[in-house]
Every structure is written in C-alpha cells, then in structure tokens.
Amino acid sequence: MDLAQQATGIELGGADYTVVGVVMVIALAALAFGYVLIKEVLSAGQGTAKMQDIAKGVQEGASAYLNRQFRTLAVFAVVVFLLLFALPAASTGERVGRSLFFLFGAAFSAAIGYLGMWLSTRANVRVAAAARETGGGREKAMRVAFRTGGVVGMTTVGLGLFGAALVVLVYAGGAPRVLEGFGFGAALLAMFMRVGGGIFTKAADVGADLVGKVEQNIPEDDPRNAATIADNVGDNVGDCAGMAADLFESYAVTLVASLILGTAAFGLHGLLFPLIVPAIGVVTAVIGVYITRARTGESALTAINRSFYISAGISGVACAVAAVLYLPSSFSELTGVSEEIRSTPGNPALIALVAVIIGILLAVVILKLTGYFTATEHRPVRDVGKSSLTGAATVILSGMSVGFESAVFTALIIGAAVFGAFLLSASLSVALFAIALAGCGLLTTVGVIVAMDTFGPVSDNAQGIAEMSGDVEGEGAQILTELDAVGNTTKAITKGIAIATAVLAATALFGSYTDAIKQALANVAGHLDPSEYFVYAPNVLVGVAIGAAVVFLFAGLAINAVSRAAGAVVYEVRRQFTDNPGIMDGSVRPEYGKVVDICTRDSLRELATPGLLAVLAPIAVGFGLGVGPLAGYLAGAIATGTLMAIFLANSGGAWDNSKKLVEDGYHGGKGSEAHAATVIGDTVGDPFKDTAGPAINPLLKVMNLVSVLIAPAVVTFAVGQSASTAVRVVVAVIAVAVIVAAVVASKRRSTAIAESPADEGKVVNGAA
C-alpha cells in the first residue's frame, strides 16, 4: 500500500473500484456525446462563398494566436512542474504524481480552450447561414449555436471528471494531494488564457468601436474597419477558449477541494461521493442540451433558461437519491475517519443531500439575479439606456451603480449559501466538506452553463460575419441581432455562476489550507500560537489588506493592458483610414492582419505580470509574514475578489446591453447622440466584463492552491528544528523583488490613447 494511503488509512475495495470505473465510463460517454454534437454542428450549411471567406480569416487568426500563446506558456509550465517536484510531499510517488498531474490539468485546460475556439470559429458561419433560411431559420440558428456550446460543455465535464477519477483510481487515499497539482495546472493555464484572450478580444473590440462607430460612424462589423477580423478572432480566443478553460478549472478545483475535505470528513465515502455528484451532472447536461429549443414566438433566453431549470431540477432529485443510497445514515458507520468524526451527531446522507441542493439552488438564484441586472427587458439595463439621453457620463455612472448594487446582492446570496452549508454540522471538518459539496452541486449544471456561455460569442461572431458579408438581410439579420443580445445576457449569467463556483471552491480550499498547516505541524513536531490566526491580530489584518490589494492590482493591470493594446489598435485603424481613402468607398481592402498582429503581440507581452503576481504574492506573504497572515491574505482576496468580479462583470454586461437597446431603436436608435454615449459606456465595460472580471475567478483559485502547496514548506521554516528566519526572508524578498520588477516594467509602457507615439514625452496642455 502507498505511503499516502497509510497516512490516510483509506484503501479502495472491489465495490469502490466499481464506482470509480462507472464514473470514468460516464466521463468517457460525455466525450462521446460531444463528438456526436460536433458532427451535427459541422453538418450544417456554411452559407455563401463570401461568408466562408470571412470565417476562414477568423479561423486562421484564432489558431495562430492560441498556437503562439501555448508555445509561450509551455516554458512556464515546465518551470512550475520542476518547482512542484521540489516541494515536500508524503512520498516520492505522491510528489511525482502531483507534478505529473499538474501537466495533465494544464493540458486538459488547454485542450478544452482550443476545442472551444476551433469549433466556435466553424460554427459561427453556420449559425449565420441558418438564420438566412426561411421558415425555421431562427430555431435552427439557435440550435446550432447552443449545441456548439454543448460540445464544449461535454468536453469540460468529461475531461474534468475523467482526470479526477483517474487520480482516485491510481492513488486512492493519496489522491487529494495529487489532485492539488491537477487543479493547479488547470487554474494556472486558465488564468493565463483568460488574461491573454481577454486583452486580445477587448483591445480589438474597443479599438474597432472607438474609430469605427464613434469617429467614422460606420456599423460595428463593417468590413471597412480594419479591426473587425481581430474583433471576431478575439471573441473566440477570449470568450470561447478563455471561458471554457476557466469553467474547466472551476470544475477541477472544486473537485480537488471536495476530495481533500471529503477524505477527512467522510473517509472513503467522502473520497467517492464528490465523483458521483458531477457524474449525475453529466447525464442532466445531456438532457439540458437536447431539450433546448425555442417555441414559436418565444424568446431564445426563455428557452435556454427553461432547459437550465429542468436540468438543475433533475440533478437535485438524482443527487438526493444517490446520497440516500450511497451514504450511511450515521457517522459511526463511516470508515477511514477519526474517532472525533465517528462520534459526530447527525446524518451524513442528509447533510450531503442538503449541501448539494444548496449548490444547485445557488446556481438557479444567480441565474435569475444576473439576468435581472443585465438583460434588456429588465429595469436596470433600461435605466442605463435611458441615461444615454444626457450623455456618456451618465451612462457610465448608471452602469457603475448597477454593478455595485448587483455585487452586494450576489455576494450576500453566495455568502448565505456558504453559511447555510457551514451550519449543517457542528464539526468543522464536516461543515467545510458541506461547503465543498455545495460546489459539487453547482457543478452538476456546468455542462449547460458552458453551453450557455459559448452560445454568446458564437452568436456575436455570426452577426459579425453576416454584417461583413452583406449576405444576411431582413428577417435573418433580425434573428442574429436577437441571438446576439441573448448571448450577452447568457455570458453575464455564466460569469456570475463561475464567480459563485470560485468562491465556493476558494472557501473550501481555505479549509484545505488549515488542514495542510495541521499536517505540516504534526510532521515537524512543532506548534503555533493560536493568536497567529486571530483576525484582530495586527499581522493577520495586514495579510487581509494585502490580499484585498492584490485583487485591485490584478484588475488594474488587466484593464491597463487593454487600454495600451486598444490605443495601438486605434492608431493603426486611424492610419489606415487616413492613408487609404479608398477604404471608405470599398475600393481598397483594409489590412486586417496588422491589427491581429498588434493584438497578438500585446496580449502575449502582458501575460507575465499578472501571472507572476498571482503565484508569487502568496509566497511573499507566507514566507515573509507567516501562516496566520497568509490565511488573512486568502480571506481578503476571496472577499474582495467576489465583489470586484461581480461588479466588473455586471456593470460591463449592463453597458453592453444598453447599447443593444439603443441600437434596437430606443432613444434615437443607431447614429444618434444617445447611441454614441452607449458605445462609450460599452467600450469602458469591455475590459471590465471580459478581461479583468472573469480573470479574478482563476486568480482566487491559483492563490489558494499556491498557499496549500507551500504550507508545509512555510511551516518547516517557521517552527521546529528546521526553522530558519534567513531562508524565509530570502524567499520573501526574492518574490517581492520579482513582483515589483514586473509591475514597474509593465507601468513603463505608455497608457495614453489620446496621444500618438510620436508625441510621447512632449508637453501637452502644460503637462509632461
């Protein structure tokens, strides 16, 4: 038996291997179903030759960007692999497994992101072509777009579940620690893809809008705008590839936290039940994808929401049955747990059942709440649209107020879910596992959530291809406009649910961090003063403040990166209009490739700073201030990150859909002053909702996992015979120095869009 298994006292029996085997079969079935959906999507018609030519340009640009990004990240992955191998572990096998499955997690995250990009760049033209068909074009276009998302959703749940089940099959009781590497790989790569893709897509989008819509007064996807191809490429590398990887890492990290805490709380049952719950979600996701179709005269959003509710309801019932059949009714019947757990009052099956239901209900409530604050038919977005009558300033102010208000309500609901799960048991270990199980309950909806998210950029791209080609008119154009607006709302909803998943996973990992500290203390025969963890201790409060500050710095770096890249796009598009007057009359073709190159170069250049901040900040705090301040750091980051991510996502979504509202004819329609005001609001909101906001999700998980991974080393150098203040100081100083150098290098780049490169350093209006 492996040393890790001896440490936990857990070993799989014949029936347990059967459970894991069934879970793996379900995971593979999800991948097979995804393949069936791929064939269905690719069998749809591709429209005219002009539409196909535009789509091919988007495909080539998206593939070129992701290939270059993966080559850049491969070096980083190798370095982290070696560092993970150097960290202490219970056994050599566990150390090797943790490092190896780090690569698995990163590879799976990359594969899902690439698949999302590859298929969405081929589905967009098919959605546009379907909208042209008379008699049923709307239903077909919606079906193709949603089933494209279904492919990505099935791949996400299939690979996530397969990876976790494989680790459990091989490592049994040692699986949770090995899965730390798996989750870390998924989270780290997702963060890079989120940041890089977000910078690419929003630099192109902002640049295209500022020059095209505002300065030249041409439509959003007018082929005369040199940034249009880059904008469409960005939708795929940011919203499809980035979000797919983001939701996969949420899936993987939540499973990691559940298995770590489940082993301590429920023993062998806690190792396997977190696999059973998402396996049920695979089945309900298949149902949800297949039943999604709009009835005559029904909004596409209504049809999508109905499918989500039905699949969530089926998941709740099925998980309740699984809990009653698989889990015992008394803690005394559990195996592989401490005597303290065995004497805990309560019913494990009932606790698990209620926790999973809390997670499913949380997803439903977040869907409703986010839809209220970002959908065009509700008051918040309509109020933002109405504010456009008095200019861009009031649009921005009203959109920010929507974001702030929605953050409060969403955070309170997430907090209520966490606290409700925590109250299910008097035992801290069981209560933390209940929180993780709530995350697993939310995971049962991930397949449909990913489908909803991918639906957005595919619809957006389809409208862009239709407008650029000029081959989709009348009813077909109106269908694509409707689907695009619905896609904006579904993207906002999935961001809200992803944030909720991030908070549940981060809170559960917070518990894993304290567990790692206890185990490390036992190994070094040392102890810590309990005051190290008191929140009113000045050093812990300093950690809280630093954690909150890192979230602000991360968001600022991401938004600033978009500002710089968008400025370069603005100059290039302006230059092309100025140097080639024939572009406006259609006699000269814009140089689309130059804008794609600018976005690719700038987005990849900006990856290093936020990545180094996420990985090194916990190391600096842990080694420099200690385990208590590091706990405070995580608490500050989770609390601030929750509010910040929701604020950024929902304010951006409200600005985007208020623009859609005006473009539909409200408050003067396209070309009016109100329209120009909402375009400005939308460009401000673009990096909010598609770069900084979503990237905070993987940021929280990366920082939590780094803290869990370094906890034994921090304890080793803080207490016991191996204590060394010099080592701690050196590590902390190096981490801080690298962060400062990266931030300073980033800040030295120009951020001004209003000045041309030739004017840099000159005095403008009396200021240097």
For 739, other C-beta atoms within 10 Å of its C-beta total 20
- Taking the CA of residue 71 as centre, how many other CA atoms within 13 Å lie in the half-sphere pointing to its CB? 8
Contact call for residues 355 and 277 (beta carbons, < 8 A): no
SS3 80: helix
pLDDT of residue 336: 75
Q: Cα 579 to the chain's mean position, in Å? A: 40
pLDDT of residue 726: 85
- How far, in Å, CA of 739 to CA of 187, rounded? 20
pTM of the model: 0.83
In one-letter notation, the amino acid at residue 36 is V
Handedness of CA 564, 566, 569, 573 (dihedral sign): negative
Whether 383 shows a pLDDT value over 50: the answer reads yes
pLDDT of residue 533: 62
Q: What is the largest CA-CA distance in the chain?
A: 81
pLDDT of residue 528: 61
Given pLDDT bands bounded at 50, 70 and 90, which one contains residue 258? confident
- Residue 390: partners with Cβ closer than 8 Å, 6 or more residues away: none
Query: Would you call 164 exposed, middle or buried from its count of C-beta atoms within 10 A (0-12, 13-18, 19+)?
Result: buried
Radius of gyration of the chain (CA): 25
Determine what percent of the chain is predicted with pLDDT higher than 70: 92
Handedness of CA 377, 380, 382, 385 (dihedral sign): negative
- Give the helix ranges, DSSP H, for 43-91: 49-86
pLDDT of residue 525: 59
- How far, in Å, CA of 186 to CA of 698, rounded? 9
- pLDDT single digits (tens) 666-699: 888 877 888 888 888 888 888 888 888 888 888 8
Across 35-39, 133-137, 310-314, least confident range: 133-137
Average pLDDT over residues 461-490: 82
pLDDT of residue 322: 93
Contact call for residues 520 and 657 (beta carbons, < 8 A): no
**Residue 278 corresponds to which tokens in the numbers above?**
């998402």
pLDDT of residue 318: 93
- How far, in Å, CA of 358 to CA of 434, rounded? 10
Average pLDDT, the chain: 83
Q: Cα 426 to the chain's mean position, in Å? A: 33
pLDDT of residue 524: 63
- pLDDT single digits (tens) 243-256: 778 778 888 888 88
Most confident of 57-61, 178-182, 338-342, 433-437: 433-437
- pLDDT single digits (tens) 64-99: 888 888 888 888 888 888 888 777 666 677 788 888
